[in-house]
Amino acid sequence: MAENSNRAIDLGDGVYQVMVPFPNPLKHTLVYAMESRNGLVLVDAGWDDDAAWAGLQAGIESIGYSMADIEGVVLTHFHPDHTGLVGRVREASGAWIGMHESDYQWFDLMSEPRSPETLEKNLANLALAGAPSIDLGVFEGIGPGHAPVGPESRPDRILAADEIISLGGRDLRTVWTPGHTPGHVCFLLEEAKTMFTGDHVLEKTTPHVGSYVYPLEEDDALADFMESLRRVGSMDVIRGLGAHGLPIADVAARSAALIEHHEERLAHLYRDFGDDQLTVWQVAERMRWYRPWDELPAMGKQMALSEGAAHLRHLVGRGRVAQVAGTEPALFARVSD
Ligand SMILES: [Zn+2]
Ligand SMILES: [Zn+2]
Q: Which tens digit of pLDDT belongs to each residue from 213-247?
A: 899 999 999 999 999 999 999 999 999 999 999 99
Length of the chain (residues)? 337
Ligand 2 centroid to Cα of residue 168, in Å, is 28
Contact 78, 72 (CB under 8 A): no
How much is the pLDDT for 113? 74
How much is the pLDDT for 116? 80
How much is the pLDDT for 142? 57
Ligand 2 centroid to Cα of residue 335, in Å, is 36
In order of 3, 27, 72, the CA distances from 92 in angstroms are 18, 25, 12
How much is the pLDDT for 336? 83
Full DSSP string of 250-299: -HHHHHHHHHHHHHHHHHHHHHHHTT--B-HHHHHHHS--SS-GGGS-HH
Ligand 1 centroid to Cα of residue 83, in Å, is 10
Ligand 1 centroid to Cα of residue 275, in Å, is 35
Ligand 2 centroid to Cα of residue 199, in Å, is 5
Ligand 2 centroid to Cα of residue 207, in Å, is 8
How much is the pLDDT for 180? 97
Task: Read off the DSSP letter of residue 49.
Answer: S
Ligand nearest to the CA of 22: 2
Q: How many angstroms separate the CA atoms of 1 and 24, rounded?
A: 27
Ligand nearest to the CA of 79: 1
Who's near 312: CB < 8 A, 6+ residues apart? 216, 269, 280, 283, 321, 332
Q: Where are the beta strands (DSSP E) in 7-105?
A: 9-10, 15-21, 28-36, 39-43, 70-74, 96-100
Residue ranges in the chain modelled with pLDDT below 70:
1-3, 141-146
Q: How many angstroms separate the CA atoms of 320 and 155, rounded?
A: 40
pTM of the model: 0.94
Q: Where are the beta strands (DSSP E) in 56-192?
A: 70-74, 96-100, 157-159, 164-166, 171-176, 185-189
How much is the pLDDT for 141? 60
Ligand 2 centroid to Cα of residue 19, in Å, is 13
Ligand nearest to the CA of 81: 2
Ligand 2 centroid to Cα of residue 300, in Å, is 15
Ligand 2 centroid to Cα of residue 303, in Å, is 14
In order of 83, 183, 258, the CA distances from 104 in angstroms are 11, 8, 26
How much is the pLDDT for 1? 47
- Mutual angle of helices 251-273 and 221-233, in 10-degree steps: 150
Query: What is the CA angle 32-198-5, rounded to 5?
Result: 35
* Residue type at 219 in one-letter notation: D
Ligand 1 centroid to Cα of residue 77, in Å, is 7
Q: How many angstroms separate the CA atoms of 203 and 241, rounded?
A: 9
**Number of Cα atoms under 13 Å in the Cβ half of residue 213:** 8
Reported as a single tens digit per residue, the pLDDT across 169-208 is 899 999 999 999 999 999 999 999 999 999 999 999 999 9
